[in-house]
Amino acid sequence: MLKSIYTLVLASSLSVAQNMPKAAVYSGCTAPKTVALTFDDGPWIYQNVISDMLDSKGAKGTFFMNGNNYECIYGHPPVERLLKTFNSGHQICSHTWDHRDLVTLNATQIRAEADKMDSKEISTFTETFLDFYVAALFKILGVNTTFFRPPYGSYNDLVREVLSEKTFILWDLEQVMIHSNLHVHPDLRLAAPETLSVKHPSKARTSTMQLSAIAS
């Protein structure tokens, strides 16, 4: 008898959890013969090398930024590089503040990892020291970003529920892999006959080699 009550309660709480709004997740492109080039883990010194190379080929990329990874996003070179890339028409999005694995964090910590980059409650900000660590991308770029890439591509239902207002963008190809038979999210700006996803812009040699390969 006790066992069946327990089962009933469990089933009912599971169904509540399933009804919670969750972030949408895209792991590939939705239009055939399109490509989205994405770069993770900046800001770092190769930011403009990559965006300039894309510009020279008439292409645009999406850069998923951390707040504090290779360098702090609020530093002067990082801010200048970000603005140059952004003003050239590339997309800047959030890759969390610290690049921590979100599935190891509780709800408060998950929220903080996201809000330090972009927050859905910017209007409530006051000018205090703590606000320095809120919505870096909004403060630097003056816009709210749309897309969010969880570090390591790692997420679970809690992460999707806590960040339900976001759109998670994963990837289906990494590094030098080029394939002709995958799909691209329609909101991403680039369309080309091949599909490629490049991660980790900090490795300039790999990144420029990859870009040369697809641009030629």
Ligand X SMILES: *[C@@H]1O[C@H](CO)[C@@H](O)[C@H](O)[C@H]1NC(C)=O
Contacting positions for ligand X (CB under 6 A): 106, 108-109, 120, 122-123, 143-144
Nearest partner of 190 among 25, 66, 51, 83, judged by Cα: 51
Q: Which residues pair with 72 in a beta bridge?
A: 68
CB-based contact 3:11 (threshold 8 Å): no
By C-beta, is 19 or 106 nearer to ligand X? Answer: 106
By C-beta, is 4 or 123 nearer to ligand X? Answer: 123
By C-beta, is 108 or 216 nearer to ligand X? Answer: 108
Helical packing angle, 76-87 and 47-56, nearest 10°: 10
Q: Give me the least distance between CB of 106 and ligand X, in Å please.
A: 4
Q: Give me the least distance between CB of 138 and ligand X, in Å please.
A: 6
Q: Give me the least distance between CB of 121 and ligand X, in Å please.
A: 6
Nearest partner of 169 among 71, 84, 63, judged by Cα: 63
Q: Give me the least distance between CB of 140 and ligand X, in Å please.
A: 12
By C-beta, is 67 or 201 nearer to ligand X? Answer: 67
In the block, tokens 């606000």 appear at: 131
d(CA 77, CA 101): 27
In the block, tokens 């190379």 appear at: 53
Give the CA radius of gyration of the chain: 19
By C-beta, is 162 or 173 nearer to ligand X? Answer: 162
Q: Give me the least distance between CB of 143 and ligand X, in Å please.
A: 5
Looking at the chain, how many residues does it have? Answer: 216
List CB contacts of 108: < 8 A, sequence separation 6 or more. Answer: none
By C-beta, is 112 or 215 nearer to ligand X? Answer: 112
d(CA 103, CA 11): 23
